[in-house]
Structure 1
Amino acid sequence: MGSRKFLVKTQRGMEGVAANYIRESLSDAEVLASPFGYYGLVIVESGDEDAEKKILDIPEVERVLPVLAEVPADLEAIVTTAEKIAPLIGEDETFAVKTKRRGKHGFSSLDVNRALGARIQELTNADVNLSWPDKVVQVEIIGDKAYISVIPGEEFRKFTPDKVDARKLFHRLTIVQMPYWGDYKACRTFGEKIGRAAQAFEVKELIIAPKEKMDAFELAEFIKGVRVGQESRYRIQKDAYPWKVEKVPVSVWDLYQVIRDKRRGKRLLIITDPKGPTLAQVKEELARDMYKAKEVVVFVGSREGIPRGLFRFADYVVDLAPYMTFATEHGIPAALVSLWEVYEEYLKNKD
């Protein structure tokens, strides 16, 4: 068997470490780390028939792309590789072309996707599926070379049809958060963490709810922190998500008036507190009621718990983790992840 070429991907900065381990595992290998100065890449050529497996045994390696064709970084040359690719894609399979381009060229990644995809479709009669393809034609352009691979649909997808979209719950969920008070710097710091958490879950609304008169400047610092935390998370979401992300609305309201509000329709009120039953004890009824509710309202304490007098008005008082008390900044993530787990289980059993 002749030598084969592989394009190895690592975390940025780990390519040199991975290259050294690859050299140890494959004594015959020619190894080039950071081709053309691009981090996170290693090109490997080896005649070892177990080369791919041995490379994947290295933890610093994230992906291994067996190179099916290597051509100049020219659009026409790349399209000619369709003849070699076509036999690997059945007529009853779906495929997608994905291109990663590094360097300056007279064409874009979309140009490659369109031109190569059209030629493959012409040769195979297979359908294109950009979301869940059976096969992915991966084009990696590095400087003046293009490396083409055919791999199965992504093993570790973020978004797959078998995963329930958590936003269907969180877009109906309002967080009522008691503000942190005390030292100005601490107020700002905790505000940032809470603003970031609320935005991360893309909840319907964040209501900052003091339970009594409090220092205006402490509250101001807390709210400034919420805004900073929300903005930092929002910028990341805009770049990372394939859908449009909205900023979570933030308001201030007296805690007791939130409980009294009857204008918002069919609300389900949930208070997280160690005095309630455990989540396991009420999860089936709770999940069912969350499914039916127009809005789910979750109350989260800060430094001290939600006032006990409000328990009478809640539909559920739930102990998320018996014998444990969550830190203020962990309240939102702990509550929402726990509620999502019981809700997802209910949806799967319901179907």
Structure 2
Amino acid sequence: MGEGKKFIVKTQRGMESVAANYISEVLPDANVWASPMGYSGLIIVESSAEDALDKILQIPEVERVIPVIVETEANLEKIAESAEKLAGFIGENETYAVKTKRRGKHDFSSIDVNRVLGAKIKELTNADVNLSWPDKVVQVEIIGDRAYISVIPGDEFRKYTPDKIDARKLFSKLTLVQMPYWGDYKACRLFGEKIGRAAQAFEVKELIIAPKEKMDAYELMEFIRGVKVGQESRYQIQRDAYPWKVEKVPVTVWDLYQVVRDKRRKKRLLIITDPKGPTLAEVKDKLARDLHYAKEVVVFIGSREGIPKGLFRFADYVVDLAPYMTFATEHGIPAALVSLWEVYEEFLRKEE
């Protein structure tokens, strides 16, 4: 490749060739290498144009652009030496973290790179390491026998920032009471998978599968099997993606009416979603305060038919989430929990 500024461009897998073509159109002088060494979702661009970065970012297929500060051999000694050129981008009063993405076979790991390069930068800058909320991130992209290194703002990596309130404050004390789906075996299992996935996604305190009357044992069995499959698939994703330890949501079976009796006796906050109740906007202030002070919040979700009307008398709230609309069974959990979180978050921000 010729002289110029280099960029590591990232796209969705399979979109790198499309993006590379558009980059070549907007930067005719650029050298563009799509899928370097066969790695999909990557493009290496070299251009002498001053506005190269802005032009690349105008392409919708491009997800991220990392300007390369140092290109060197992919070995620990050479990567550590790059700290001399990187140190000037990190102030003494700033925090930093080293993050490495390694592609190919090497006699070192990504953790080795983070440790060696991080220590050298510490020596040169006296800046503090902060792995959670760094001001700057030293990004090391290793592709085969070459390493491309940059220093970028830390907020580009922050999914979980201090200004965001952790939704698990609410969901960790929330119990879902879900009426099971019944009918065709395949449908029971399919709906079970969706409900298991949704309950695990919100990391709730417990999922109670609650039939309201005698039902076919094999239909219930298929539904519960589906719940287990859906929960496991979501759990595996969470375990790989989250920086905290994730627990599987406990799943139990209990008669619907007995759940109401037990939770009411223990003075838990009971919420039923039904079109016959007031809208969320009408009750949100009082509801949010009750959500905050409740030891446990119990939310009842119907299936094919709503929660029996006789239980409404025992609920603290019967809420209409979307007037003139009825949610499908698989949408009950996400619709209810997202709505409750929005109300609760607004309350917390007012309290702050």
TM-score range, shorter chain: over 0.9
Q: Distance in 1 between matches of 2:251 and 2:343?
A: 27
Question: Which secondary structure does the structure 1 equivalent of 2:193 belong to?
Answer: helix
| 1:4 equivalent in structure 2 | 5
Shifted more, 210-219 versus 308-317: the winner is 210-219
1:14–1:40: 8 Å Cα contact kept in structure 2? yes
Pairs within 5 Å for 1:49-198 = 49-155=50-156, 157-198=158-199
Q: Distance in 1 between matches of 2:263 and 2:142?
A: 59
Query: Runs ≥4 in structure 1, deviation > 3 angstroms?
Result: 262-266
Q: CA separation of 1:63/1:158 partners in 2, compared to 1, >3 Å: closer, same or farther?
A: same
Cα deviation code 1:76-130 (max 9, x no counterpart): 1111111111111111111111111111111111111111111111111111111
| 1:28 equivalent in structure 2 | 29
1:68–1:147: 8 Å Cα contact kept in structure 2? yes
| 2:346 equivalent in structure 1 | 345
Superposition deviation, residue 265 in structure 1? 3.8
Please tell me the residue identity of whatever aligns with 1:118.
Answer: A
2:264–2:270: 8 Å Cα contact kept in structure 1? no
| 1:236 equivalent in structure 2 | 237
| 2:226 equivalent in structure 1 | 225
TM-score by length of 1: 0.97
Superposition deviation, residue 247 in structure 1? 1.2
| 1:330 equivalent in structure 2 | 331
Cα deviation code 1:295-345 (max 9, x no counterpart): 000001111111111111000000000000000110001000000110111
2:133–2:158: 8 Å Cα contact kept in structure 1? no
Please tell me the residue identity of whatever aligns with 1:19.
Answer: A
Is 2:281 the partner of 1:280?
A: yes
Shifted more, 316-325 versus 257-266: the winner is 257-266
1:137–1:148: 8 Å Cα contact kept in structure 2? yes
TM-score by length of 2: 0.97
2:264–2:314: 8 Å Cα contact kept in structure 1? no
| 2:252 equivalent in structure 1 | 251
Q: Distance in 1 between matches of 2:84 and 2:195?
A: 54
Shifted more, 222-231 versus 56-65: the winner is 222-231
Q: Distance in 2 between matches of 1:74 and 1:177?
A: 55
Please tell me the residue identity of whatever aligns with 1:126.
Answer: A
Question: Which secondary structure does the structure 2 equivalent of 1:5 belong to?
Answer: strand
Residue identity (%): 81
Q: Distance in 1 between matches of 2:263 and 2:250?
A: 20
Please tell me the residue identity of whatever aligns with 2:62.
Answer: V
Please tell me the residue identity of whatever aligns with 1:97.
Answer: V
Question: Which secondary structure does the structure 2 equivalent of 1:325 belong to?
Answer: coil
List gaps (5 residues or longer) in structure 1.
none
Q: CA separation of 1:66/1:262 partners in 2, compared to 1, >3 Å: closer, same or farther?
A: closer
Please tell me the residue identity of whatever aligns with 1:46.
Answer: S
Cα deviation code 1:11-50 (max 9, x no counterpart): 1111111110000000100011111111111111101000
Q: Distance in 1 between matches of 2:75 and 2:171?
A: 46
Superposition deviation, residue 222 in structure 1? 1.2
Please tell me the residue identity of whatever aligns with 1:182.
Answer: G
Q: Distance in 2 between matches of 1:262 and 1:31?
A: 63
List gaps (5 residues or longer) in structure 2.
none
Cα deviation code 1:188-247 (max 9, x no counterpart): 111111111111111111111111111222111111111111111112111111211111
Q: Distance in 1 between matches of 2:301 and 2:162?
A: 32
Please tell me the residue identity of whatever aligns with 2:102.
Answer: R
RMSD after superposition: 1.2
Q: Distance in 1 between matches of 2:266 and 2:51?
A: 63
1:91–1:125: 8 Å Cα contact kept in structure 2? yes
Pairs within 5 Å for 1:280-319 = 280-319=281-320
Q: Distance in 2 between matches of 1:107 and 1:60?
A: 32
1:31–1:45: 8 Å Cα contact kept in structure 2? yes
Question: Which secondary structure does the structure 1 equivalent of 2:28 belong to?
Answer: coil
Q: Distance in 1 between matches of 2:101 and 2:240?
A: 17
1:265–1:294: 8 Å Cα contact kept in structure 2? no
Superposition deviation, residue 135 in structure 1? 0.9
